[in-house]
Structure 1
């Protein structure tokens, strides 16, 4: 029986990273697959994150469609947009990466701590990734959402069977996602092109 990871169009583990950076189209396809994963959880807890991720993917895709080869990689896309008044795609990448990082930290904590509740894993993740960037009202929304996440066993079952295969694929996917989000974080921290965000 195919697992979620067998059926997605692009896995983070297969996103190409070359001398010029992270391949834009592949990265966006993998991010879309992550967003679609939330629907498997049968929970409205992640609807805010899912909507945010989808909105930011749209901003990046529109920029890519408008500029093509100049935005072949995520880094080139940001460089290409630097001199413009409205840097919608750059801001979209920043927030997309924050949403991806939130998901990564939550699922990684759950993967590493099988005895912890999934809600605890995502509560820890929220504190580490998004909380500092949210208003008091948004923090309240997330607090309620995180408490409503499904149990870890339900999450794993929704990703397919057998569980040992799902866990192996999840580990590979998480490692790749973690490396990509770290690379983007570093780009924002060290690049003059990403200053001001």
Structure 2
């Protein structure tokens, strides 16, 4: 049996290295999002794929971590120009390169997929995870995936555990789990919305 992903009396979110609730967003500077904390929170999010427990989710997790790596490499290369995600994108595009920017586009799609799947499931107490994840996949990643990738991700959607098993792995107190998941999701959704809006602007295009 898998070990619990949470401390006694707590929830999965107590063990998260960095939550999206802890990612600084500077509203006065056009909702600038701090790069370091955002990448840490994105890495921490992949722990949820481990809780989902299926080997089928390895490509989803690998996709997120691969895109985090592209963004972090650019940040390490030019730290002074990459303190916020928006500055990182603007400054990379000035060099006529777009590896990290493209990584961010794909990372945001992956985060959007995760947020939509969990939000739909949280809001529909009788719906199984597979249905929520399939719908979220259709709305987010599927339109951008090739015919080779689609079956791999579709298999992951169908391999999700039963709803009750997943939520039990997040904590013993389901009311607390739902409350903390909702807080985490709201922060993630807000960041995804800011980044989607920014990435749709001319200055983020290559």
Identify the TM-score tier after normalising by the shorter chain.
over 0.9
Coordinate RMSD, CA, aligned: 1.2
Q: Secondary structure at the match of 1:82?
A: helix
Deviation at 1:3, TM superposition (A): 1.6
Greater shift after overlay, 61-70 or 112-121?
61-70
Q: Distance in 2 between matches of 1:49 and 1:142?
A: 7
Q: Distance in 1 between matches of 2:167 and 2:76?
A: 35
1:127 is matched with which residue? 138
Q: Distance in 1 between matches of 2:179 and 2:80?
A: 35
Q: What CA deviation, in whole Å up to 9, does each residue of 1:125-180 have, x standing for no partner?
A: 01100111011221122222211111111111111221111110000011111110
Which of 103, 108, 123 is equivalent to 2:114? 103
1:14 and 2:22 equivalent?
A: yes
1:61 is matched with which residue? 72
The two structures have a TM-score, normalised by structure 2, of: 0.91
Q: Secondary structure at the match of 1:164?
A: helix
1:50 and 2:58 equivalent?
A: no
Q: Distance in 2 between matches of 1:67 and 1:159?
A: 38
Query: 2:54–2:156: 8 Å Cα contact kept in structure 1?
Result: no
Q: Name structure 2 gaps, 5 residues minimum.
A: 1-7
1:38 and 2:66 equivalent?
A: no
Q: Secondary structure at the match of 2:154?
A: helix
1:4 is matched with which residue? 12
The two structures have a TM-score, normalised by structure 1, of: 0.95
Aligned residues: 195
Greater shift after overlay, 76-85 or 174-183?
76-85
